[in-house]
Amino acid sequence: MFQLSNNQSLKEKNTFGITATARYYLIVKSESELYEFFKNNRSAIQLKRLFLGAGSNLLFLDDFNGLVIHPLIGGINLVRENKYQVEVEAGAGVSWDNFVAFCVDKGWHGIENLSLIPGNTGAVPVQNIGAYGVEAGSVISEVKGIDIPSLKDYHYNHKACEFNYRTSLFKEKLKEQFVITSVVFRLSKQPNFKIQYEGLEEKINQYGKTNLQNIRKAIIAIRQSKLPDPAVFGNAGSFFKNPVVSELVANSLKNLYPELPVYSIGHGVVKLAAGWLIDKAGWKGKSVGNAAVHEKQALVLINKGGASGKEIFRLSELIAEDVLQKFNIHLEREVQVIGD
């Protein structure tokens, strides 16, 4: 049976630790519970919606005066396999890092570089999570879920998901419309290590040979050394995206700042390191009220304790304005801002 509560506190349900409440909060453990809820509550289709996994990429500015849907759908199932590959399906409510650990344990390659990213599997395709040279979209073969307005289930194959840097069909066209219930990954039984990311190979060598377990250990160690633990300081990982600009723009900045990190992504466009720009602009470790810029990674904003969503948002505005003024680069938020 679905669980519905009114005026539910969201403080424990967002990794920023922001105080906010949801008018209605719905937990479903299966697709049929979701159907059942809407069958009994037809008018709920009209409500403003928010799909909430582990709340690790959200910033609440206000209370949420609508329906929060939390899909707590578990299960990891092998869909098919051959000598070279497996297709494995994980429920939207499966903790992402538990799923990565499961696959690494089985000897399945493809997501080890995405170890320790907070959140649930259902959120993974939405923002096409990525780290250390791998994007989840590259190994997602299918995304399953329910379109709320029509209450019909759909399966989207890889191509239909429109994966791009930190975005997808689900974050753009189907935003708050299509609730993901499970995700199918195509993983390899053969090694296909991606260890080019600066400093990764050295870290792996500290643990021994290059294999799945040691890559996972190295990634976990690198993340823990740079990224704040939300249990200590509320945060949502990178607050901004790395800006994508033309080579022309990057080259003119490189002339002024030869040490600027630039990553080519082909077709005459490059990604700049937003963390570097924010750091260079002098924001690293700076606080404004209870909101601060993490002292080891300037792309991460933290709640020093008791910060409101608006306080964190204000800090992000000050940073973006300053980066624009100093480098003429627009920073785009990666975190989903809820409220206005």
Q: For residues 327 and 253, is the Cβ–Cβ distance under 8 A?
A: yes
CB closer to ligand EPU, 74 vs 130: 130
DSSP annotation of 293: E
Smallest gap from residue 242 Cβ to ligand EPU (A): 5
Of 95, 50, 68, nearest in space to 9 by CA: 68
CA–CA gap between residue 190 and residue 128 (Å, rounded)? 23
Q: For residues 136 and 112, is the Cβ–Cβ distance under 8 A?
A: no
Dihedral angle at the C-alpha atoms of 229, 231, 234, 237, nearest 10 degrees?
30
Of 74, 155, 87, 78, nearest in space to 120 by CA: 74
Number of H-type helices and E-type strands within the chain:
7, 20
Residue of 128, 182, 214, 297 interacting with ligand EPU (CB under 6 A): 297
Alpha-helix runs per DSSP H in the chain: 31-40, 96-106, 200-207, 212-226, 247-256, 274-280, 309-327
CB closer to ligand EPU, 81 vs 172: 172
| Amino acid at position 279, single letter | D
Smallest gap from residue 42 Cβ to ligand EPU (A): 37
The stretch near ligand EPU (CB under 6 A) out of 102-110, 181-189, 296-304, 313-321 is 296-304
Residue 54 found at the interface with ligand EPU (CB under 6 A): no
CA–CA gap between residue 271 and residue 209 (Å, rounded)? 31
Smallest gap from residue 226 Cβ to ligand EPU (A): 6
Q: For residues 86 and 189, is the Cβ–Cβ distance under 8 A?
A: yes
Residue of 132, 170, 178, 233 interacting with ligand EPU (CB under 6 A): 132
Site for ligand EPU in 219-278 (CB under 6 A): 226, 237-238, 241-242, 261, 273, 275-276
Residue of 50, 73, 253, 298 interacting with ligand EPU (CB under 6 A): 298
For residue 216, give both structure tokens: 């996972």
CB closer to ligand EPU, 261 vs 339: 261
Residue of 279, 286, 310, 329 interacting with ligand EPU (CB under 6 A): 279
Smallest gap from residue 283 Cβ to ligand EPU (A): 9
Could you give the residue numbers annotated as active site?
166, 238, 334
Residue nearest to ligand EPU (CB): 237
Smallest gap from residue 187 Cβ to ligand EPU (A): 20
CB closer to ligand EPU, 120 vs 238: 238
CB closer to ligand EPU, 87 vs 279: 279
Smallest gap from residue 202 Cβ to ligand EPU (A): 14
CB closer to ligand EPU, 39 vs 226: 226
Residues 6+ apart with CB under 8 A from 14: 20, 55, 56, 58, 59, 60, 234, 236
For residue 248, give both structure tokens: 């022309």
Which residues are at the interface with ligand EPU (CB under 6 A)? 131-132, 226, 237-238, 241-242, 261, 273, 275-276, 279, 284, 297-299, 334
